[in-house]
Structure 1
Amino acid sequence: MDGGDAPAAGGGKVACAAWIRRREDKSAAAPARVFAAYGRAGAAGSPAALEVLGFDAKECSLSPSPLARAVIGDGGAGDAPRGIAVHPAGDELVCATAKGCRLFKLIFDEFTVRIIPRDAPLLESVGPQKCLAFSTDGAKFAIGGEDGHLRIFHWPSIKVLLDEPKAHKSFRDMDISLDSEFLVSTSIDGSARIWKIDEGAPLVNLTRSSDEKIECCRFSRDGMKPFLFCTVAKGPKVVTVVWNISDWERIGYKRLLGKPISTLSVSLDGKYLALGSHDGDFCAVDVKKMEVSHWSKKVHLGSPVTSIEFCPSERVVISTSHQWGAELTKLNVPADWKEWQVWLVLLALFLASAVLFYVFFERSDTFWNFPMGRHQPAKPWNVLKESPPVPEDQTPW
């Protein structure tokens, strides 16, 4: 683990965090550089600020000092960060505060990073927001407020696609589907609603019994199985329920963390879910088996886990809490196959096939090893119990 409150990184605890994946040539095949964004609350002599830190995959650690730092707003209490959403391209991020949302441009050079504030009037005066989310393709951006107001924007034009002041009593959680077609949102009263983004209208309310509360929500990300995962509380018991997004019917459920859940997250490749508890524990769940693969206890001792973010390149997560700030944790799960490992296995199979073919050629009684011409042995007619054929008359005319 790696704490997020080192003095060298600036004053104030880390209130929110997110990963930044940056591809230099915008190609999916190009290697990505990974950074972390920290939103720090203000402290004595240090205003609220946004920081970008480098990530060392080999050491599983963040740089002790930020690569870049920018003060949020005028540094007052109302500018303390509450959440961060990073654009999938890695060149922009939105930071939520008590006043509204601030937009920042990220410029990466070979050895330096710059954070440049940008004007976004439609975002700056929206008030305190509970949820922020970019779509996977980066073309949509959605925010859900403490006042229950839902706004969906086209990006980067920031044109309003949906503006619903009474979407919920107050937002609890929110996510956008992998294909950017649907948005799911949950309320503090336990209700959950599916929205059709392009139509800018609600589609369906998820069914629940009178004593159930739907809390956290995430869409699947593997691209093969379009599911919706939600945590559902029924008294002291909490289960993770799976919905089929073709008909919005429940498929099944499983009790995973075994305690009240404060946050839910899914890895970019869709292989793992992460569930954080109200007492500071979190676990990682193998989606294919729906079994717990990693458990971290007392990471944020006695404090609710407010967010968990999966690293885009490694099996590492950043988790945050109001009391303890940010913690970096390497997941104890099976290692993923790297691209070079796959090619190495294919090469080994090819070489093994070539060796087997050579052995077969040298040692087997195949057609090309038969003696030819006058050296061919006579056929065993005695075994076939037939008379040998009479040779044709070779006398010339």
Structure 2
Amino acid sequence: MARGRREIEPCSKTYGFPIYCAGWVPFSHIATSSASPENENENEGDDKGDSASATAAASDASDKLLVAIGGGGGEGRSGVPNALVISGFDFPSRSLSDEPVIRIGTESDLPYRMAIHPTGDGIICSFPNGSRWFKWDLPGSRDYKKLALNPSEESLTQLENISLQALCFNKEGSVLATGSEDGNLRVFKWPAMESILSEVVDDNSIKDLDFSFDGKYLASLRNSGPCRVWDLNSSSVIANLARESGENFRFCRFSCSSDDNQVLFVIAMHDDQGKIITWNTTTWKRIVSKRVVKDPISAFNISPDGKLLAIGTIEGGIVVLNSKNLQVHSVIKKAHLGLLTSLVFSQDSRALLSSSFDSTARVTAIEAKKSNGTFFISILYFRYFSMPGLFKTFFFLLAGLSMWLVFLVIIVAMLAYYLQSNGLIRNL
């Protein structure tokens, strides 16, 4: 490999175009819905065969995942294609497939945003001048390599000639929320596309939207103003979450706490630093506000189990946090070479999909966090070469000690270093 060249890991792939949007394909739902009711009911033997096949498919699906990405060079003659791509991810080998399962060219239309239906109906893809509905096709098979994605004949007339900045389904896939560049927030029943609510604020585009886990609330963020929370039963605003001086809200996501109470997380830039703000969803008061990164934040999401938060920066880094205490779970420096455009956890929260303008998509397996003892030793390791001789001696002793002694040794070593630094004992 040439000197200075960045090695591409198996979990990362380059797709030849800037990636604007990404998500996980709910293949288990697609495979279930593709089963033929007529064949399943022919006889009991067939039922047992189908059941065994379904069990095998479910087991295989847990390790064979699919990701969807969209992007391109936009309109014009840049030579960079516009496309929707579906690729496979093999969990045991932690690798994305070399060849895509599906690739759909979209001619001069740039796939800008996408919303993947959670129960496998299809994908809504937003383009600069409208949106299209794509439907899955898996005829009589549970092999993801035979999956097809076809443009639907059903037109989304309510979304024609509109440039969407945000769109999402609720957890059940029964409601669709959309936010446009011209400031139009609209919520529809799906698939009937009957209007539930609408709000227009001219020249104040929608930045982000998210449904609460129970589907009762919708949070909306605009370029300016508060984060608004809507009650979907009454189609009315129940909370305006104000910004403090210097804050610029970027993203909003609902999550569940350990006691099953819902929490709203809002990502904000405060001066040059990124911060997380949590809100109580009963009183709508701030609970915690914490600065977490120094670089501007360009992507954010929460795992479906509510335990982890993922933050992506314009420098290509990813930080994963514990949602309960906002402590760092893991850090991936330079996960990408450019600005992160999306972060999405898999449905089982085992993996994190990230995409970037650098034309790469990456899947990171979420590992269990190391114990505190291992964490402290890691910190000491990186500081080792700048420490005096006495501290080095204690560091090497750690390797042969049981974990219950680790903390005692660390404290003694730090005390010795403090005394030595202040000239109270001589160098050893």
TM-score calculated relative to the size of structure 2: 0.70
Contact 1:265 1:308 in 2 (8 A): yes
Counterpart for residue 166 of structure 2: 131
For the pair 1:235 / 2:250, whether they are aligned, the reply is: no
1:296 Cα deviation from its structure 2 partner: 0.8
For the pair 1:155 / 2:185, whether they are aligned, the reply is: no
Query: Which one of 267, 273, 295 corresponds to residue 259 of structure 1?
Result: 295
Distance 1:160 1:49 in 2: 30
User: Which one has a bigger Cα radius of gyration?
Assistant: 1
For the pair 1:286 / 2:293, whether they are aligned, the reply is: no
Query: Which one of 116, 138, 145 corresponds to residue 86 of structure 1?
Result: 116
For the pair 1:48 / 2:65, whether they are aligned, the reply is: no
| SS of equivalent residue, structure 2 residue 14 | coil
Q: Which residue identity is paired with 2:126?
A: A
Counterpart for residue 21 of structure 2: 16
Q: What pairs with 1:100-119 in structure 2 (closer than 5 Å)?
A: 100-108=130-138, 109-111=141-143, 112-118=146-152, 119=154
Distance 1:97 1:152 in 2: 18
Identify if the C-alpha distance between structure 1 residues 126 and 160 changes in structure 2 by more than 3 Å, giving closer, same or farther: farther
Q: Which structure carries more helix by proportion?
A: 2
Contact 1:48 1:71 in 2 (8 A): yes
Identify if the C-alpha distance between structure 1 residues 52 and 238 changes in structure 2 by more than 3 Å, giving closer, same or farther: closer
Q: Which residue identity is paired with 1:104?
A: F
Query: Which one of 25, 48, 71 corresponds to residue 32 of structure 2?
Result: 25
1:295 Cα deviation from its structure 2 partner: 0.4
Counterpart for residue 4 of structure 1: 13
Distance 1:60 1:167 in 2: 46
1:81 Cα deviation from its structure 2 partner: 0.7
Identify if the C-alpha distance between structure 1 residues 168 and 247 changes in structure 2 by more than 3 Å, giving closer, same or farther: farther
For the pair 1:311 / 2:316, whether they are aligned, the reply is: no
1:107 Cα deviation from its structure 2 partner: 1.8
1:123 Cα deviation from its structure 2 partner: 4.7
1:77-123, Cα deviation, whole Å (9 max, x unpaired): xx111122111112311111111211110123333011111122335
1:323 Cα deviation from its structure 2 partner: 2.9
| SS of equivalent residue, structure 2 residue 293 | coil
Counterpart for residue 348 of structure 1: none
Contact 1:4 1:14 in 2 (8 A): no
Contact 2:111 2:127 in 1 (8 A): yes
Identify if the C-alpha distance between structure 1 residues 138 and 222 changes in structure 2 by more than 3 Å, giving closer, same or farther: farther
Q: What pairs with 1:170-189 in structure 2 (closer than 5 Å)?
A: 170-189=205-224
Contact 1:256 1:291 in 2 (8 A): no
Distance 1:164 1:248 in 2: 21
Distance 1:269 1:14 in 2: 26
1:261-301, Cα deviation, whole Å (9 max, x unpaired): 22210011111000111221111111123211010111223
Q: Which residue identity is paired with 1:102?
A: R
Counterpart for residue 378 of structure 1: none
Distance 1:60 1:313 in 2: 15
**Mind listing any 5+ residue stretches in structure 2 that lack a counterpart?**
1-8, 34-50, 371-428
TM-score calculated relative to the size of structure 1: 0.75
Contact 1:4 1:13 in 2 (8 A): no
State how many pairs are aligned: 326
Distance 1:44 1:239 in 2: 37
Distance 1:35 1:127 in 2: 29
Counterpart for residue 62 of structure 1: 96
**RMSD value, Cα:** 2.6
Distance 1:314 1:198 in 2: 30
Counterpart for residue 344 of structure 1: none
Q: What pairs with 1:232-381 in structure 2 (closer than 5 Å)?
A: 232-301=268-337, 303-313=338-348, 315-334=350-369
